[in-house]
């Protein structure tokens, strides 16, 4: 862990009032010098190159970058679906080597719910399949979180009868019901319409206020990153490398009156502007 910004970094910021948390001093998730490669049909692609970051308990940590910066690949690696060719990923000091229920994923795709199970069964099944709890305890837990996302009325509906936003809510309820060490969200709202997306963002923040879970959130939307995150990691593309790590208070305020989103925009797209040939 030779990461210098560890010192600079503010403790995991709580949104309304900062809560000092001694456990937050040791990183929950430590990503150290991670290089990721994957094979396509005829290429070996380097998705990220020596990426470092640390996520602390109760962080709303955002991976932000343009497409091709390897942020989703990075999340998959944290999920345990692929191994880094270089570097280490450790959760609570334990090296990640396979997918597991302590790192619940929430995907963007609508088919992430198992279509042959009702909303309630989907959440319950996650709990029982992973051996987290069983029987009526699992069901109670499931119903509690389904209620939290406001879907009690639809607990016995099958996923295909739900709207996209409702499916995303169920996926979040499922992720939260597992009470994972960290919730991994891969552009969970990207496939939703703009109005629903905004509502879901508000809801996620409200849920976070309730339970203070730790979330690692991938997005390519600067406003979403600013709104949801307390800490934003900027990645540059081809291959993904760390560009900056910034704090956000959710209000789009940056240093010296400059808006945070403008600053992020400048950081992410500075290179591409310079590279552009000058027209007269």
Partner 1 sequence: MTDLTAGRLGTAPMRPEFVREGVGAQEFGVVEKPLSTWERLYEQSALRKVVILVFLAIAWEVYARILDNELLFPTLSATLEAFWEGIVSGDLPRRIGYTLKVLLMGYASGLFIAALLTAVAIGSRIGQDVLETLTSMFNPLPAIALLPLSLIWFGLGNGSLVFVLIHSVLWAVALNTHSGFKSVSQTQRMVGRNYGLSGPRYIMQILIPAAFPSILTGLKIGWAFAWRTLIAAELVFGVSSGGGGLGWFIFERKNQLEIPSVFAGLLCVIMIGLLVENLIFRVIEERTVRKWGMQA
Binding site for partner 1 (CB under 8 A): 79, 81, 98-101, 103-105, 107, 109, 111-112, 114-116, 125-126, 129-131, 158-161, 279
Give residue for tokens 């900056």: 244
Query: C-beta of 218: minimal distance to partner 1 in Å?
Result: 14
Rounded Cα gap, residues 216 and 175, in angstroms = 12
Half-sphere exposure of residue 241: CA atoms within 13 angstroms, side-chain side: 6
For residue 36, give the nearest of 71, 64, 1, 3 by alpha carbon: 71
Nearer to partner 1, 75 or 242 (CB): 75
Nearer to partner 1, 81 or 269 (CB): 81
Whether 44 and 85 have beta carbons less than 8 Å apart is answered as no
Give residue for tokens 């991938």: 218
Query: C-beta of 178: minimal distance to partner 1 in Å?
Result: 9
Nearer to partner 1, 33 or 101 (CB): 101
Query: C-beta of 166: minimal distance to partner 1 in Å?
Result: 14
Question: Which residue(s) pair with 1 in the sheet?
Answer: none
Nearer to partner 1, 97 or 256 (CB): 97
Beta strands (DSSP E) in 56-114 are: 60-64, 86-91, 94-95, 103-106
Query: C-beta of 109: minimal distance to partner 1 in Å?
Result: 4
Nearer to partner 1, 144 or 158 (CB): 158
Question: Helices then strands (H, E): number in the chain?
Answer: 8, 10
Query: C-beta of 111: minimal distance to partner 1 in Å?
Result: 5
Query: C-beta of 138: minimal distance to partner 1 in Å?
Result: 12
Nearer to partner 1, 100 or 223 (CB): 100
Measured in residues, the chain has a length of: 280
Inter-CA distances, 5 with 10, 11, 244, Å: 10, 12, 10
The pair phi, psi for residue 78, each rounded to 5°, is -65, -35
């Amino acid at each position: 862990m030779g990461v210098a910004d560890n010192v600079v970094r503010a403790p995991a910021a709580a949104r309304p009032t900062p809560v000092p948390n001694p456990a937050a001093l040791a990183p929950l998730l430590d990503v150290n010098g991670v290089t990721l490669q994957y094979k396509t049909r005829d290429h070996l692609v380097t998705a990220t190159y020596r990426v470092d970051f640390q996520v602390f308990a109760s962080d709303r940590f955002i991976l932000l970058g343009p497409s091709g910066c390897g942020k989703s690949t990075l999340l998959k690696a944290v999920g345990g679906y692929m191994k880094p060719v270089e570097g280490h990923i450790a959760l609570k000091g334990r090296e990640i080597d396979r997918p597991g229920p302590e790192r619940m994923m929430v995907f963007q795709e609508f088919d992430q719910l198992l279509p042959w199970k009702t909303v309630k069964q989907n959440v319950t099944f996650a709990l029982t399949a992973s051996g987290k709890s069983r029987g009526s305890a699992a069901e109670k837990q499931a119903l509690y979180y389904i209620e939290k996302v406001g879907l009690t009325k639809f607990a016995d509906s099958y996923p295909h009868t739900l709207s996209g936003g409702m499916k995303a809510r169920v996926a979040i309820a499922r992720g939260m019901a597992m009470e994972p060490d960290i919730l991994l969200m891969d552009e969970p709202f990207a496939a939703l319409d703009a109005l629903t997306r905004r509502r879901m963002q508000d809801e996620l923040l409200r849920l976070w206020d309730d339970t203070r879970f730790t979330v690692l959130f991938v997005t390519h939307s600067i406003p979403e990153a600013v709104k949801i995150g307390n800490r934003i990691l900027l990645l540059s593309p081809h291959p993904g490398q760390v560009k900056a790590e910034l704090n956000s208070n959710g209000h789009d305020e940056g240093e010296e009156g400059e808006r945070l989103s403008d600053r992020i925009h400048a950081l992410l797209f500075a290179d591409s502007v310079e590279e552009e040939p000058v027209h007269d």
